[in-house]
């Protein structure tokens, strides 16, 4: 197959689907219309599928009796962002969200459209598939909580894949460029939400109150130092706080303060140490300031580590299919990614696809209101799906021993215990 040419034939379809998803985005866990639209497209193509409640969609092409199974994944949820109608360069975007306060500013509309483009090509050449290709459209990636329903269904129905593959469009990478991560691709995270309780007083008499703001200032400074005092300098850790809420008037010392944020890292042991020291620091600082604190911590989650053998295979095949001009180096990301769980179950590879075009003003990072996409890159993403899946089925590495064949609930108990409730 000429994957580039076949994907190019579907470019108009891919862009049209991307724009439709972009116009009608849905927040994590509420993607009912998006799922229905995907299912309608699969029906038109004659592709068998299963709509997994709360999880998303599995679709099936080929025959597992003929060879191995490759899983291709796309996430489909949007973000609670009010989108600007212009990009960073001030140019009018070709499409803008019509759902107030919700927008596809992370590129999941692109991911779904590229995978549907691949589905269209494969449905027309199903007899040429030397094995089975499974398409997985995932709800709720941003919250990270819906993938468990897809994995639960897969293991209850004896669906195993020899490899999994995903693409994330990347605003920092130039358009029409691909990067294959050798191993570390996305980070583990320790997310926290902390409530500090003090004592309300009039601003003129601070001695009559206990300020949770004073406690927070000290707590913030302490948390900033955890990565320097308790982790190896050879294991990078980032720290940020994204929310702080307290008070209702300038002359009242508030009784409560809430804040939330996260630590990001690649090493699971480092994450566990951060979690322990985080809780200790919060409680001790609250005690010092005569406050009380409630601390909710999620994580450390699983970092996304590409299977080295599969990643090397993907890099080689993409060089052969697309040439060196389409390949570009990129640093790994400290963003979180639920594909980490899928890649741990079924030896996985995630790649970056560049969608940045400075001449057109397309430079805003993911999650920004001015986020935009160089749509001409999307056909390359579809071609990459086709190339990896079809080539792997022909002569991909033997991953049998690395495929998880154990109890899926035990897997979640080990790697993401907060999602284990899905098995109750």
- 47 pLDDT exceeds 80? yes
| Domains of the chain in sequence order | 3-184+303-423 (3.40.630.10), 188-298 (3.30.70.360)
Q: Is the pLDDT of residue 327 over 90?
A: no
Mean pLDDT on 210-239:
95
DSSP per-residue string spanning 175-205:
TT-EEE-SSEEE-EEEEEEEEEE-B-EETT-
How many whole angstroms separate alpha carbon 56 and alpha carbon 49? 10
Please report the pLDDT score of residue 136 as a whole number. 99
Residue 209: HSE in the Cβ half-sphere, 13 Å Cα cutoff? 21
pLDDT tens, residue by residue, 167-205 = 999 999 999 999 999 998 999 999 999 999 999 999 999
Question: CA-CA-CA-CA torsion for 105, 107, 108, 110, nearest 10 degrees?
Answer: 140
Cis before residue 300, ω within 30 degrees of 0?
yes
State the CB neighbour count (10 A cutoff) for residue 251: 8
pLDDT at 326: 86
pTM: predicted TM-score of the whole model, two decimal places: 0.91
Question: With bands split at pLDDT 50, 70 and 90, how would you rate the model's confidence at 46?
Answer: very high
Percent of the chain with pLDDT over 70: 100
Q: Check pLDDT > 90 for residue 331.
A: no
The predicted structure's pLDDT at residue 53: 97
The band of 328, judged by pLDDT with boundaries at 50, 70 and 90, is confident
Please give the pLDDT value at position 325.
Answer: 87
d(CA 196, CA 256): 6
């Amino acid at each position: 197959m000429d994957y580039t040419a076949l994907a190019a034939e579907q470019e108009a379809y891919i862009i049209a689907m991307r724009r439709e998803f972009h116009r009608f985005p849905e927040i994590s866990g509420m993607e009912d219309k998006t799922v229905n639209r995907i299912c309608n497209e699969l029906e038109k193509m004659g592709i068998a599928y299963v709509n997994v409640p709360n999880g998303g969609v599995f679709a099936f092409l080929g025959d597992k009796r003929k060879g191995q199974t490759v899983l291709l994944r796309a996430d489909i949820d949007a973000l609670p962002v009010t989108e600007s109608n212009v990009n960073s360069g001030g140019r009018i975007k070709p499409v803008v969200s019509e759902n107030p306060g919700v927008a596809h500013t992370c590129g999941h509309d692109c991911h779904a459209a590229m995978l549907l483009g691949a589905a269209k090509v494969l449905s027309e050449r199903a007899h040429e598939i030397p094995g089975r290709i499974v398409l997985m459209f995932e709800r709720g990636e941003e919250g990270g909580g819906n993938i468990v329903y897809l994995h639960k269904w897969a293991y209850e129905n004896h669906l195993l894949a020899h490899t999994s593959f995903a693409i994330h469009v990347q605003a920092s990478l130039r358009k029409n460029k691909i990067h294959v991560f050798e191993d570390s691709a996305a980070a583990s995270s320790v997310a926290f939400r902390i409530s500090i309780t003090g004592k309300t007083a009039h601003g003129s008499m601070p001695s009559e109150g206990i300020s949770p703001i004073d406690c927070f200032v000290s707590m913030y400074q302490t948390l900033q130092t955890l990565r320097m005092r308790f982790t190896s300098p050879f294991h990078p850790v980032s720290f940020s706080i994204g929310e702080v809420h307290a008070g209702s008037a300038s002359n009242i010392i508030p009784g409560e303060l809430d804040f939330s944020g996260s630590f990001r890292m690649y090493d699971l042991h480092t994450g566990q140490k951060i979690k322990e020291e985080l809780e200790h620091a919060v409680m001790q600082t609250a005690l010092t300031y005569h406050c009380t604190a409630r601390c909710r911590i999620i994580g450390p989650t699983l970092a996304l580590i590409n299977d080295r053998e599969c990643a090397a295979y993907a890099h080689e095949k993409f060089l052969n299919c697309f040439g060196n001009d389409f390949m570009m180096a990129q640093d790994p990301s400290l963003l979180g990614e639920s594909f980490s769980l899928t890649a741990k179950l079924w030896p996985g590879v995630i790649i970056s696809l560049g969608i940045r075009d400075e001449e057109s003003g397309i430079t805003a990072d993911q999650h920004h209101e001015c986020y935009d996409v160089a749509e001409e890159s999307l056909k390359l993403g579809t071609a990459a799906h086709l190339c990896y899946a079809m080539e792997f089925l022909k002569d991909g590495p033997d991953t049998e021993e690395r495929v998880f064949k154990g109890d899926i609930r035990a897997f979640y108990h080990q790697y993401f215990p907060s999602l284990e409730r899905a098995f109750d």
